[in-house]
């Protein structure tokens, strides 16, 4: 699918990889709508990009009502919806049993899965329903969805029980969704990123970042946010990519600790 002139929703779009992706795709000529709970950063990014092709909506991805209303607002503003990129997520360090021998908080586990997995499904499902209204581009494509998993889905580390479970679930969505929606003109893919130089990671300081980079295989550095955004663009543009999870991690495999 061509990017220029298309309307793209990016959840988690106010900061980090989501914001970088929204800005990158805007630069390629797309209309972008950022969904996030962070109103201050989201509004500022939309204003910086320009009101002609950018907008922000405060959205909780686990809310039926908020997601439906926000998607409707995007289509009302830009006329259609073509791409959804699901970057919204939370990291929740959690062991099955803590140091004191107490079981993990079920509420904390449930909330992580609710945002990372259920929220991703919620946005994907509602966006796909509206993409079906589009005329097919080149007789094939009505829409594209890119869901964000993690390397932790494959090699979850100790303390990542909730996060790894939720991100493995995102990978599990891929193939059945692609098989269902592909014949109708909607492709579904995922990215499982490794360590990226987001503002949060880089704020840890040079010494901590250097230590983290030691676990990266090659190239031995954190990923650049534009490299993640470029991968999203590739999955949008390559019409033969469907039902795949792209590991974007410099051949890194996480150790237990």
Catalytic residue ranges? 163
Cβ atoms within 10 A of the Cβ of 139, count?
A: 7
Q: Which residue has tokens 């590991």?
A: 247
* Type and span of the H or E element at 51: none
Where helices occur in the chain by DSSP H, the ranges are: 16-27, 39-49, 64-78, 106-113, 119-131, 161-181, 199-202, 206-213, 225-237
- For residues 117 and 62, what is the distance between their CA atoms, to the nearest angstrom? 9
Q: In what order do the strands lie in the sheet with 7-11?
A: 54-58, 31-36, 7-11, 83-86, 143-148, 186-193, 245-248
Among 249, 194, 235, 244, residue whose Cα is nearest residue 85: 235
- 212: tokens are 């983290």
Pairing, β 186-193 against β 7-11: unpaired
């Amino acid at each position: 699918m061509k990017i220029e002139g298309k309307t793209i929703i990016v959840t988690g779009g106010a900061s980090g990889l989501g914001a970088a992706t929204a800005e990158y795709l805007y630069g390629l000529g797309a209309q972008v709508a950022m969904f996030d709970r962070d109103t201050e950063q989201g509004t500022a990014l939309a204003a910086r990009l320009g009101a002609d092709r950018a907008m922000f909506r405060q959205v909780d991805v686990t809310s039926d009502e908020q997601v439906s209303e926000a998607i409707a607002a995007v289509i009302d503003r830009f006329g259609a919806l073509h791409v959804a990129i699901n970057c919204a997520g939370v990291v929740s360090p959690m062991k099955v049993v803590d140091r004191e021998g107490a079981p993990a908080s079920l509420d904390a586990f449930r909330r992580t899965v609710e945002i990372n997995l259920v929220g991703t499904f919620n946005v994907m499902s509602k966006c796909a329903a509206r993409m079906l209204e589009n005329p097919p581009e080149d007789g094939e494509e009505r829409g594209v969805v890119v869901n964000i998993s993690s390397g932790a889905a494959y090699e979850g580390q100790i303390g990542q029980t909730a996060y790894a479970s939720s991100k493995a679930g995102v990978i599990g969505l891929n193939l059945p969704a692609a098989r269902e929606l592909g014949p109708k003109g909607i492709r579904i893919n995922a990215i499982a990123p490794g360590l990226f130089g987001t503002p949060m990671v880089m704020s840890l300081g040079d010494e901590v970042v250097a230590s983290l980079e030691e676990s990266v295989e090659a190239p031995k550095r954190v990923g650049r946010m534009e490299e993640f955004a470029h991968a999203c663009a590739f999955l949008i543009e390559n019409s033969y990519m469907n039902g795949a999870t792209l590991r974007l991690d410099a051949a890194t495999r996480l150790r237990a600790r």
